[in-house]
Structure 1
């Protein structure tokens, strides 16, 4: 008998804890409750916890402090961590995600969607335990304001520098306590760090070494700003991979110009990298979203693919025409929301196509689940991409048959509109992400697809995008909009109008949606 997954619920509001725990128990999970970060850490050390749900504002250790404590321990740093909080601001979400949170859920929330997100996170448990966390390249954000963090125990001189830098429209933060610098780096996300050498308790060199030992922040440009002019100290400083070593008696205007030029160089590097990425994406765009025909027999096919901020991500689609007059549609999402996932999408498409050819050469009785098993085996056994995981949906249909074969691997549910009853059904196979295990188990779902019916497949960019009030589009709203327009010939156009109106065109991830309708 499978042991129930343990979910640690950390919240100083007893009612919230109890409601969440009750609903988790109903889904066969084992909730463990704590009212603050200190109690939670004690529970964590005494139990094999699979997932952490944590409020932010609490007595004692707050949520961010507890998160940093958890992530600092190798024993716990692969446990999925979700913040649940009444905070709804974009800044708060950005802070949580920048720290490395797996998700951020605002109160009040829809309990059905909440439990679905919990179960989705738990699907990754075996992956995290087997492989640990992978660090995909971070997205290149050219829109954020440039920030400078100044670490100096003498606030007067630092304040003068801050005033000059802010005249050049830089955002500055001063940290007087060097022991708080690491936390400040994670929270403030600076583009440049300026640090004194002589400070109480820990000097600038020791702090720099701590930063270099942390893979998440070691590449942030670093400058020493100090009164120490000893040649040997200066040389030792440059050996710590720094941008510059500036003496404090340098006129503040000169220091400000140096900083401005360094920031300008950082911006140029970002823009150059972004330009190269977009050029590459433009050349290979059709490989990720191939030409999908508008119709095949009685079946009308429509799709929408919009990369996040026009930067390619991990979403992909494919359309494959088989010799036996069957057609295969694929919608996929490489695990991870950053553009680094894009580099692996081509490998997955290649494996999907080659595996389909192999299967069809072996038998005429193939199915969507059989194709997924073949693809999973190929990915799992290829050392180059064996630690990259993907959510994939596969549909197989024939224009002269009223039946569709569907199977999924770690994907979101498929929605089916039945014209005869006017209802929307939701199908999910529960298959594990591709590449996660050698013996991935995938099931077929065969549905009758009658005239006037419609099916839609989508990736998480649809339900995770939010409006100006930080309300996510969500699964329930998606179902409502789907039902509203499912019978409309211009379904995709109507859906895009409604979705873009809700989000004001600000999407949180790649947007991928594919729909098939059978004509009357």
Structure 2
């Protein structure tokens, strides 16, 4: 079931409660405000799917509220419906000229008000789905991917990844695997700051620089993730387009010959390291700055020697974000504690997929999210 959030704005508390109760019964989450000032305060904490606002209110009326909404890029595309007892055609036209989707008369039965709001949201959702399909088809035709179809096979290692979009929109997360030779594979997980399409388009620029930097460094005999990160960061800082766009990056090299993992990070979340022999879970935090902040990103390298059964998990920040009634929450420790019970098992990857990426978890997703799973296993001949 799709959760729909609505902001109701009216100086009549009785009407607010009446409509809110009816909407809650139909699965809506309602935020109520008795004034425009209160409504704006709520908006900066909770972005609804639709706004239903009275016209006649003290201090600021519905038209003034609409003007404020239209000046803010974060809110201007939220569907806006006027809810009023005024039937003046001139006022109605003025509201529609301000890109309001509809007018609903306060004398309309509550059941019909709810049906109208549902119909508006359903129509918008279907249009979004159509647009997503068309853009997705175009991206597919151009072979534009920020996430690969599969992970490479590495003898002696299990390498898997999980990726989930936010509301079917692509986002800023990008994943790649670059196999240099039979012994060395680079693992890439990044997250461009921003949401949806804007972040998605920039992810290709970052991926292009990362792939080029890795191949150039390898050509020069340099396989150090920290050195590669420094090169990538310098290029990003000089790029006039990407100079104001920030991104995290976790860069890992798997060396099959030594069973070692070389890791450097740029503003990323700590990677999770499980050592089977000690049944110990630890986190490794990189010191590097986000790509693009300053030319010297202070990137350093960690080397981890993996024994059979040891596991590494790399995640984007979407994995630690979740939705509560009060709004979006971020909690890395909570995520880590949820993960610990399944670490060290033969089926760890499948358990993570089941517990964190199943269909019934999608409604709690507030950002696109990615997870890369690496496990040392016995080599086969």
Partner residue in 1 for 2:339: 478
The answer to whether 1:406 aligns with 2:268 is no
Contact 1:168–1:260 (Cα < 8 Å) also in 2: no
Partner residue in 2 for 1:277: 132
**In 2 relative to 1, CA 227–372 (structure 1 residues): closer, same or farther, beyond 3 Å?**
same
Q: Tell me by how many angstroms 1:432 deviates.
A: 1.2
**1: distance between equivalents of 2:64 and 2:166?**
39
**In 2 relative to 1, CA 515–337 (structure 1 residues): closer, same or farther, beyond 3 Å?**
farther
**2: distance between equivalents of 1:356 and 1:213?**
43
Contact 1:458–1:513 (Cα < 8 Å) also in 2: yes
Q: Tell me by how many angstroms 1:366 deviates.
A: 3.4
Contact 1:414–1:427 (Cα < 8 Å) also in 2: yes
- Root mean square deviation, CA, Å: 4.2
CA-to-aligned-CA distance 1:120-159 (integer Å, 9 cap, x gap): xxxxxxxxxxxxxxxxxxxxxx922363625355x78x57
Residue among 38, 52, 64 paired with 1:206: 64
Residue among 180, 203, 208 paired with 1:345: 203
Partner residue in 1 for 2:159: 301
The answer to whether 1:252 aligns with 2:108 is yes
Contact 2:307–2:376 (Cα < 8 Å) also in 1: no
The answer to whether 1:380 aligns with 2:241 is no
Q: Tell me by how many angstroms 1:443 deviates.
A: 0.6
TM-score, scaled relative to structure 1: 0.57
**2: distance between equivalents of 1:390 and 1:404?**
22
Partner residue in 1 for 2:86: 227
**1: distance between equivalents of 2:27 and 2:337?**
42
- Helix, strand or coil: the match of 1:364? coil
**2: distance between equivalents of 1:494 and 1:165?**
39
Contact 2:9–2:35 (Cα < 8 Å) also in 1: no
- Helix, strand or coil: the match of 2:244? coil
**In 2 relative to 1, CA 359–147 (structure 1 residues): closer, same or farther, beyond 3 Å?**
same
**2: distance between equivalents of 1:159 and 1:463?**
34
**In 2 relative to 1, CA 279–478 (structure 1 residues): closer, same or farther, beyond 3 Å?**
farther
Contact 2:192–2:199 (Cα < 8 Å) also in 1: yes
**2: distance between equivalents of 1:384 and 1:409?**
19
**2: distance between equivalents of 1:183 and 1:462?**
28
1:106-255 aligned within 5 A: 143-145=2-4, 147=6, 149-152=8-11, 158=15, 162=19, 169=26, 177=35, 179-183=37-41, 189=48, 191-197=50-56, 199-220=57-78, 221-223=80-82, 225-227=84-86, 229=88, 231=90, 236-244=94-102, 252=108
- Helix, strand or coil: the match of 1:295? coil
Q: Tell me by how many angstroms 1:238 deviates.
A: 4.6
Contact 2:246–2:290 (Cα < 8 Å) also in 1: yes
The answer to whether 1:437 aligns with 2:298 is no
Q: Tell me by how many angstroms 1:365 deviates.
A: 2.4
Contact 1:355–1:374 (Cα < 8 Å) also in 2: yes
Q: Tell me by how many angstroms 1:319 deviates.
A: 1.0
**2: distance between equivalents of 1:175 and 1:365?**
60
Contact 1:301–1:516 (Cα < 8 Å) also in 2: yes
**In 2 relative to 1, CA 163–311 (structure 1 residues): closer, same or farther, beyond 3 Å?**
closer
- Helix, strand or coil: the match of 1:288? coil
**2: distance between equivalents of 1:399 and 1:167?**
56
**In 2 relative to 1, CA 504–473 (structure 1 residues): closer, same or farther, beyond 3 Å?**
farther
Task: Count how many residue pairs are aligned between Structure 1 and Structure 2.
Answer: 363
Q: Which moved more, 1:338-347 or 1:367-376?
A: 338-347
CA-to-aligned-CA distance 1:285-338 (integer Å, 9 cap, x gap): 854124322323x33323333334554333322111225852211122333565
**2: distance between equivalents of 1:420 and 1:175?**
57
Gap runs ≥5 in structure 1: 1-141
Q: Tell me by how many angstroms 1:354 deviates.
A: 1.6
Q: Tell me by how many angstroms 1:442 deviates.
A: 0.6
Q: Tell me by how many angstroms 1:367 deviates.
A: 0.8
Q: Tell me by how many angstroms 1:441 deviates.
A: 1.5
Contact 1:413–1:426 (Cα < 8 Å) also in 2: yes
**In 2 relative to 1, CA 150–256 (structure 1 residues): closer, same or farther, beyond 3 Å?**
farther
Q: Which protein has the bigger strand share?
A: 2
Partner residue in 1 for 2:119: 264
Contact 1:333–1:391 (Cα < 8 Å) also in 2: yes
